[in-house]
Amino acid sequence: MPSRPLTQLTLALLKPDLAANSAHVGKVFAHIQQNEFKVLAHKHLLWSKSQAEAFYGEHRGKFFFERLCGYMTSGHFYALILEKPNAITDWRALIGPTHPPRARINAPDTLRSLYGMTDTRNSFHGSDAAETAKNEIQFFFPEFDWEKWNQDQQRST
């Protein structure tokens, strides 16, 4: 029996501007499924200012920090753990460039092109590296059992 390829995890956020429209959320979940991501866990969240500041702490002092934290506390959003081979790269490719108006020109089939509004209200987040994904997933899903997930990965090879 051939072994299945090792999968990877990434954190995906469906930000408040997107989460405010349930029809768009449904369409995004369809895109996730069509692109063969497995949703291992998801949460519907509403952040406090301190939670947003903790997650985006690396950006403290940058010109967009307060605007970003204000945006992320403006309404409910979704956090998801996505799994598939090359999950980080594939999710970032699916969501597209950070700036939605540029995405509409350079990557018109991406989710940010379809749903994003501005560089801050860009509808999505995706981890940029494996270590970042692990840290971000732990932030949102402290109950996620990394050891079990790793063991399952080893058994499947």
pLDDT in tens, the chain (157 residues): 445 668 999 999 999 999 999 999 999 999 999 999 999 999 999 999 999 999 999 999 999 999 999 999 999 999 999 999 999 999 999 999 999 999 999 999 999 999 999 888 999 999 999 999 999 999 999 999 988 998 888 777 6
Task: Map residue 84 onto helix, strand or coil.
Answer: strand
Give the active site residue among 31, 42, 99, 125: 125
Tokens describing residue 39: 């949703």
List residues forming the annotated binding site. 15, 64, 92, 98, 112, 122
**Residue tagged 């399952």 (tokens):** 152
List residues forming the annotated binding site for ATP. 15, 64, 92, 98, 112, 122
Domains present along the chain, CATH in parentheses: 8-141 (3.30.70.141)
Q: Measured in Å, how far apart are the chain's first and last C-alpha atoms?
A: 10
Predicted local confidence at residue 4, as pLDDT: 61
Burial class (CB in 10 A: 0-12, 13-18, 19+), 145: exposed
**Has 42 been annotated as catalytic?**
no
Tokens describing residue 126: 């995706």
Predicted local confidence at residue 146, as pLDDT: 87
Predicted local confidence at residue 5, as pLDDT: 67
